[in-house]
Structure 1
């Protein structure tokens, strides 16, 4: 079945100060991800990474649903012996399972139905906000495939082994209260307010010293990926580099004068 607006961008972007809004824009298909959506999302992540004026990404979805998962009718025929390549030149894998990590934080707002790759995108992001009526499902096993966007890596780490396997291996649906209980989402808010709350959090992060935010994120990821000892070894060198920045001076002046800091990213 053809999309009602075939030339409509699958991903829409907007710069709002230092926050980069990245919106799923296929509401007539419940934001199911075809190859075009995946590639446009990867390009948006690449833009977020490269532009020094952009400090935080905010991923959201147009319409009633965050995503119904993969559009298997479009993606299925494209799967080859090595899977599928969704990252064009200049893009970054949004699920960050391709060897390159985003250096900037991502906040995500979800509503309605959030299936498969939607959950995995939350797991690959840093702060998640859900509308209270959101329904989640990691349903790949019911389709004869496995989660390939990072759920097998991150879901057990986030929720604990048993909590993760309860949902990954059964393909059962669960609600926002359960998502909050197991740590998949950080806040559950009334329906219709999830974007505004996510934007508040993104702007709060964007107001901090960006080099310090990125260094903090990088060290935490090092601890997860390479172990605590590797992260410990990088703490003091990272601190020394940050202490020599203009933002460190601005932060100290803000502390001493008790006035708000306006960081410049240098």
Structure 2
């Protein structure tokens, strides 16, 4: 476990693991809790993760999510003995209608709108890489060990790695790791733009939480609109994203928060945004 001041207390975990949530102001901490098995993901954990992401999107009091893990490792990946039967049947571990943690736009699932910051440490394999690439900002401990090793198990990465690795790092760099399943460290992940900051081990959650709290202080409607427009530019191209500029700016400019932004500037004080 990290040594972050005021870090979440490690709660008991059932054998199949669980997801633990904690509210810190406008931030929702989402903790992966199965340290005895290096946080290997079971169907229950994946379902509860989707439920936590859905809670973040639906609760107007929550503005930013922070995904982290208890124990020395982020996750060793999928717990194949429990997940493989679902794969063979072509089934998902989470019910339809929830927010999809991998944010792929899979039919029947919702896409996240609010920002997600991730803190990773130690072993961060397969689904761990895909979850962090699906998030918005990643803080990595300097002891991370990354591997997208599906090819070593006779399967393919289908949680977004084949899409986002190439987008972040270029096709050659993506295939270097996707086709070998090799292990690489935090410095390589930073070089490839898979993570945004590398910090000493034990500080990753503290830094991620501070960053999330800073984002939570900004105007919520503007934060969501900015995130979605940047995502649209990546997925559909800058021209498509640009076509939203005038309409989105007009909507934001007529909000209570935009008026508060102007008033706080005039009065030389911190803004008090309400998300309306």
- TM score, norm. by length of structure 2: 0.91
Contact 1:43–1:90 (Cα < 8 Å) also in 2:
no
- 2:204 is the alignment partner of 1:197: no
Alpha carbons of structure 1 residues 90 and 47: separation in structure 2 relative to 1, 3 Å? farther
Aligned length: 262
Q: How far, CA to CA, are the matches of 1:265 and 1:122 in structure 2?
A: 26
Gaps of 5+ in 1: none
The answer to which of 85-94 and 61-70 deviates more is 85-94
Q: How far, CA to CA, are the matches of 2:13 and 2:117 in structure 1?
A: 28
Gaps of 5+ in 2: 1-11
Q: How far, CA to CA, are the matches of 1:48 and 1:181 in structure 2?
A: 30
The answer to which of 255-264 and 113-122 deviates more is 255-264
Instruction: Show the counterpart of 2:94.
Output: 87
Instruction: Show the counterpart of 1:163.
Output: 173
Q: How far, CA to CA, are the matches of 2:43 and 2:15 in structure 1?
A: 14
Contact 2:16–2:42 (Cα < 8 Å) also in 1:
no
Instruction: Show the counterpart of 1:30.
Output: 38
- TM score, norm. by length of structure 1: 0.95
**Cα shift at 1:258:** 2.0
* SS at 1:80 equivalent: helix
Matches within 5 A, 1:37-186: 37-81=45-89, 83-88=90-95, 91-97=98-104, 98-99=106-107, 100-186=110-196
RMSD over aligned CA atoms reads 1.5
Q: Segments of 4+ in structure 1 off by > 6 A?
A: none
Q: How far, CA to CA, are the matches of 2:19 and 2:135 in structure 1?
A: 17
* SS at 1:58 equivalent: strand
* SS at 1:21 equivalent: strand
